Amino acid sequence: MREALKEAKKAYAKDEVPVGAVLVHAGEIIARGHNQVELLQDATAHAEMLCITSAASAIGNWRLEEMTLYTTLEPCAMCAGALLASRVQRVVWAAPDLRLGANGSWVDLFALKHPMHKVSITGHVLEEEAAALMKSFFQEKRERAVVD
């Protein structure tokens, strides 16, 4: 999760919502990603989505079985769907996303019976650190908006 937090800080430095993700297989980081929605002007450029694409390219296979995704924010519905479709075995997230989270904060897509496999979920890992980063980012955004 510490590596995912490093990715989130990269997003923060680029004025992107500070979410970072890493995909790990057998203890080795296969792919990294951080939000690039604004940079790419692409609503799908979430940290998890970019990480999934990068991992599939790195291993030459869209099936990411036996991999664990670490992400600093509870995945949204889009990212949850991609994680299920790519067959990621385990998802570990830090801070809940009370507005859009798809592991129970808004909806729980991971609780639905999937026809091919089940994803193991662990939440609230290093939650305070990830939540503090998000809080700081949005506080700065609000302060800049008042000045402008």
Six-digit token string for 6: 């490093």
What angle, rounded to 10 degrees, do the helices at 127-147 and 2-13 form? 10
In the residue annotation, 65 being an active-site residue is answered as no
DSSP-H helix ranges across 93-126: none
The Cα 80–Cα 75 span in angstroms is 6
What amino acid occupies position 8?
A
What amino acid occupies position 21?
A
Q: Which one is catalytic: 16, 28, 38, 48?
A: 48
| Catalytic positions, written as ranges | 48
